[in-house]
Amino acid sequence: MNQVPPVPRLSDANLHALPAYVAVPAYDRAATRIGIVHFGPGAFHRAHQAVYLDDLLAHDPDWAISAVSLHSAGVRDALRPQDGLYALELLGARDGGRSALRVIGSIREVLCAPQEREAVLARLADPQVRLVTLTITEKGYCLSADGIDAGHPDIVHDLAAPRTPVSAVGWLVEGLRLRRERGLAAYTVLSCDNLADNGGRLRRAVLDYARRLDPALAAWIEAETGFPRSMVDSITPATDDAVRARVAAALGVADAWPVQREPYAQWVVEDDFRHGRPPLERVGVVVGADIAGYDRAKLRLLNAPHSALAYLGSLLELETVAAAMAEPVLAGFVERLMRQDIVPSLQALPGFDPQAYVDAILARFRNPAIRHLLAQIAWDGSQKIPVRLLGTIAEALAAGRPVARLCLPVAGWLRFVARQARNGVAIDDPLAEALARTGAACTGEAEDVAGFLALDGVFGALAGDPRFAAALGEAYAALAPATPDAVRHALAAAAKP
């Protein structure tokens, strides 16, 4: 049999020989300098922040990225042989062609922290680096209600061995310790995850952790380090075989890990950088004095409905967001939930029209060019439900507003967990074991709810609120026996005014 010659990998060497319809970095990569360390270079970072930085490098060469994975070597092993380059496909981009496919060059270095500790510390202590950004998902922060979760195994490890950290907070603090020791300015720490008040929460966690190690270091961090809040938005389905095949055909060279996303993207950042920052506004980032309100609107009006579609759509045996939106009873329910139950929970923001924002989000969910799996959104429910839905419910209860509709997606999550447990399907969640146990004990009756309310760290104060327990119990009962017909019936009833 003839050996098929190996296709060359995408790299600096062949970047300028790509077909003309593939956009390539509009700057000399070799002339850029690393100014940002990023923890968590998953698909979202590579499809969002790294793209803004790719635009920015054409104006300012000082903000290339060193991308650091905290756990797995997968991204490093895929991208290092490609000089950090990878393709981004914009799904359903209106002009097709050139802007639909581009190669992103802003990641100049890819590291795997557990295997390359010295290199990561050298970057964190590099005076040229002035910003450390993070997309490590909700669970990566090891947060407690108002600081660090000191019982989390990674934090227990890091407090005992702070020079060889494993957690994100451990790395951030070790890097800041080195900078203080060497008389360097602190870096700014920018969380780009879907958490309300992400900067404030990370700041409290970092200071709490640092105080346990060295109060003087904590005081220095408090005085020197900015923790801006940010809101990030762009729908980014996980890379699948279809995008791999399209990219391979279009590039003519192999890309081990291309990424895809919708054309729309938004990034809003609070201006709390103490020692210089990239001129982000030049590339469409909104940099503002106070962005609180925007992060909350996005979490509540985009991410919460996403989770509602994920759990209720899965119970309806649907596979994608677009398919869930094509199910009139589910789309109708979600729209009513957004307009009538979530919008009233938002504070007024200058220039922000919540109903127009709802329209735009619903249109994005309907985009037929995007195959966004409900199963992807369903991951990590124990981390997502509290920040996406439970805050809105607690505020509605306090204000005397109804919570019946808001409880239905939460009940959908419980039914989803019970179904996975019954079918022996693994649940992707840091609480997977407890969820599997709780789900397996479910009988389908309203009593099941108490088992979920007893889970550690999910329901917070709501667990003890009899009004919430009653509303969640009713929503859970309304979905019984969780067949598609029963779910359709419950959705239709709940969508009534």
Q: What is the binding site for ligand CS2 (CB under 6 A)?
A: 194, 233-235, 302-303, 306, 376-377, 384
In angstroms, the CA 490 to CA 229 distance is 38
CA 136, 140, 145, 146 dihedral sign is: negative
Residue at shortest CB range from ligand CS2: 306
Q: Which helix (H) or strand (E) holds 110?
A: strand 107-112
Phi, psi of 423 (to 5 degrees): -85, 0
Q: Of the two residues 56 and 232, which places its CB atom closer to ligand CS2 in the complex?
A: 232
Report yes or no: 229 and 200 within 8 Å, Cβ to Cβ.
yes
The angle that helices 328-336 and 484-494 make with each other, rounded to 10 degrees, is 40
CA angle centred on 387, ends 383 and 392, rounded to 5°: 140
In total, the chain counts a number of residues equal to 497
* Minimum distance, C-beta of residue 444 to ligand CS2, in the bound complex (Å): 27
* Minimum distance, C-beta of residue 263 to ligand CS2, in the bound complex (Å): 13
* Minimum distance, C-beta of residue 234 to ligand CS2, in the bound complex (Å): 5
In angstroms, the CA 154 to CA 142 distance is 8
Q: Of the two residues 144 and 376, which places its CB atom closer to ligand CS2 in the complex?
A: 376
In angstroms, the CA 392 to CA 434 distance is 25
In angstroms, the CA 7 to CA 9 distance is 6
In angstroms, the CA 398 to CA 320 distance is 35
Q: Of the two residues 113 and 268, which places its CB atom closer to ligand CS2 in the complex?
A: 268
Q: Of the two residues 18 and 377, which places its CB atom closer to ligand CS2 in the complex?
A: 377
Phi, psi of 482 (to 5 degrees): 65, 20
Q: Of the two residues 384 and 405, which places its CB atom closer to ligand CS2 in the complex?
A: 384
* Minimum distance, C-beta of residue 42 to ligand CS2, in the bound complex (Å): 10
Q: Of the two residues 138 and 158, which places its CB atom closer to ligand CS2 in the complex?
A: 138
* Minimum distance, C-beta of residue 137 to ligand CS2, in the bound complex (Å): 9
* Minimum distance, C-beta of residue 372 to ligand CS2, in the bound complex (Å): 7
The per-residue b/e assignment along 347-366, b for 16 or more CB within 10 angstroms, e otherwise, is eebeeeebeebbeebbebbe
Is 229 in a helix, a strand, or coil?
coil
Burial level of 210, CB count in 10 A (0-12/13-18/19+)?
A: buried
Q: Of the two residues 192 and 434, which places its CB atom closer to ligand CS2 in the complex?
A: 192
Which single residue is written with the structure tokens 């004990």?
441
Q: Of the two residues 66 and 367, which places its CB atom closer to ligand CS2 in the complex?
A: 367
Burial level of 325, CB count in 10 A (0-12/13-18/19+)?
A: buried
* Minimum distance, C-beta of residue 392 to ligand CS2, in the bound complex (Å): 15
- Whether the bond between 481 and the residue before it is cis, its omega within 30 degrees of 0, is yes
* Minimum distance, C-beta of residue 220 to ligand CS2, in the bound complex (Å): 34
Q: Which helix (H) or strand (E) holds 357?
A: helix 354-366
* Minimum distance, C-beta of residue 429 to ligand CS2, in the bound complex (Å): 12
In angstroms, the CA 69 to CA 80 distance is 13
* Minimum distance, C-beta of residue 261 to ligand CS2, in the bound complex (Å): 9
Q: Of the two residues 112 and 299, which places its CB atom closer to ligand CS2 in the complex?
A: 299
Q: What single-letter amino acid sits at 159?
A: L
* Minimum distance, C-beta of residue 51 to ligand CS2, in the bound complex (Å): 13
Give the 3-state secondary structure percentages of the chain, helix then strand then coil, rounded to 5. 50, 10, 35
* Minimum distance, C-beta of residue 233 to ligand CS2, in the bound complex (Å): 4
Q: Of the two residues 66 and 198, which places its CB atom closer to ligand CS2 in the complex?
A: 198
Report yes or no: 19 and 46 within 8 Å, Cβ to Cβ.
no
Burial level of 74, CB count in 10 A (0-12/13-18/19+)?
A: middle
Q: Of the two residues 188 and 234, which places its CB atom closer to ligand CS2 in the complex?
A: 234
Report yes or no: 438 and 417 within 8 Å, Cβ to Cβ.
yes
Q: What single-letter amino acid sits at 335?
A: E
Q: Of the two residues 144 and 303, which places its CB atom closer to ligand CS2 in the complex?
A: 303
